[in-house]
């Protein structure tokens, strides 16, 4: 997952709203969003290489999402970052307990959001202590929470306007579909070649071998209704399939 925007208790009807793009190599095997056969209470996509997920929610409203921290040349962690979300979704710990007891050194650089319907927590193993998030709109890409990368700033602004149109989720998907490349003068410097900085500066990433593979809009309503909508893509942003999953807490 390379971009995620979350609205936490900012809408009168939806305590949790999520809009997210997962960017990954197309060659990495993945399952489309659905209920997990081995953990039926979990809804989400699945990384079939390491077994974890980039974003998921349970029937009881436990939510987790992870992004990597872009650090070219860094060593590989002991465990896949997708295990961070998988373990929380399948467990019973509160978001606070999980964030504070996590063995963060076992993973490559990550940003992690954890929700248990009562609270939303952020943690990272790159210089940020676990923190409970107050009601608000938050975003993370491949640096720390709310780092002012141009695409994240644009996504947060668009998200704030789009959630006013719920239950219509179309405007949120419009935000996620923005493939505008940022001018060179505004690009962050993350250690990758300039061509990659340009490509990755878009909210929706397009290329032959790497790009946005899934766009997800997730809402948890005040009455407990969960709606998980995913649109999946192939090389150069070619649409593959769409699915909508609804369930009640």
What separation in angstroms does the CA of 198 have from each of 46, 105, 146, 209? 28, 30, 20, 15
Mean pLDDT computed over every residue of the chain? 94
Q: How far apart are the first and last CA of the chain?
A: 25
The C-alpha torsion from 21 through 71 and 106 to 140, rounded to 10°, is: -30
Each residue of 31-44: pLDDT tens digit? 999 999 999 999 99
Structure letter (DSSP) for residue 183: P
Q: Which residue would you say has higher pLDDT here, 75 or 213?
A: 213
Over residues 218-223, the mean pLDDT reads 96
Over residues 23-33, the mean pLDDT reads 95
pTM of the model: 0.95
Q: How confident is the model at residue 117 (pLDDT cuts 50, 70, 90)?
A: confident
Q: What's the length of the chain?
A: 249
Q: How far, in Å, CA of 179 to CA of 213, rounded?
A: 13
Q: Count how many domains the chain has.
A: 1
- pLDDT at position 72 is 81
Q: How confident is the model at residue 1 (pLDDT cuts 50, 70, 90)?
A: low
- pLDDT at position 50 is 87
Q: Any bridge partners for residue 24, and if so which? A: 211
Q: What is the domain range of residue 115?
A: 3-248
Q: How far, in Å, CA of 145 to CA of 139, rounded?
A: 6
- pLDDT at position 248 is 85
- pLDDT at position 228 is 98
Q: Which helix (H) or strand (E) holds 227?
A: strand 225-233
Over residues 100-104, the mean pLDDT reads 89
Over residues 62-82, the mean pLDDT reads 87
The domain spanning residue 211 has which CATH number?
Answer: 3.60.60.10
Structure letter (DSSP) for residue 107: B
Each residue of 148-199: pLDDT tens digit? 999 999 999 999 999 999 999 999 999 999 999 999 999 988 889 999 999 9
Residues 214 and 45: beta-carbon distance below 8 Å: yes
């Amino acid at each position: 997952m390379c971009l995620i925007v979350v609205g936490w208790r900012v809408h009168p009807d939806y305590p949790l709203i999520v809009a997210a793009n997962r960017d990954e190599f197309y060659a990495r095997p993945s399952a489309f969003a659905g209920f997990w056969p081995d953990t039926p209470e979990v809804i989400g996509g699945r990384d079939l290489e390491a077994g974890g997920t980039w974003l998921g929610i349970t029937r009881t409203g436990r939510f987790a999402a992870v992004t990597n921290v872009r650090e070219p040349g860094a060593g590989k962690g002991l465990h896949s970052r997708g295990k961070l979300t998988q373990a929380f979704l399948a467990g019973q710990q509160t978001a606070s307990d999980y964030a504070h007891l996590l063995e963060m050194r076992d993973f490559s650089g990550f940003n992690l959001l954890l929700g248990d319907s009562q609270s939303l927590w952020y943690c990272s193993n790159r210089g940020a202590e676990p923190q409970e998030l107050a009601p608000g709109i938050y975003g993370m890409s491949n640096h720390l929470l709310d780092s002012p990368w141009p695409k994240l700033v644009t996504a947060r602004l668009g998200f704030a306007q789009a959630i006013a149109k719920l239950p219509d989720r179309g405007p949120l998907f419009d935000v996620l579909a923005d493939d505008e490349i940022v001018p060179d003068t505004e690009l962050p410097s993350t250690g990758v070649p300039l061509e990659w900085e340009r490509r990755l500066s878009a909210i929706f990433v397009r290329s032959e071998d790497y790009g946005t593979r899934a766009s997800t809009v997730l809402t948890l309503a005040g009455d407990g209704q969960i709606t998980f909508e995913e649109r999946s893509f192939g090389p150069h942003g070619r649409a593959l399939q769409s699915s909508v999953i609804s369930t009640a807490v």
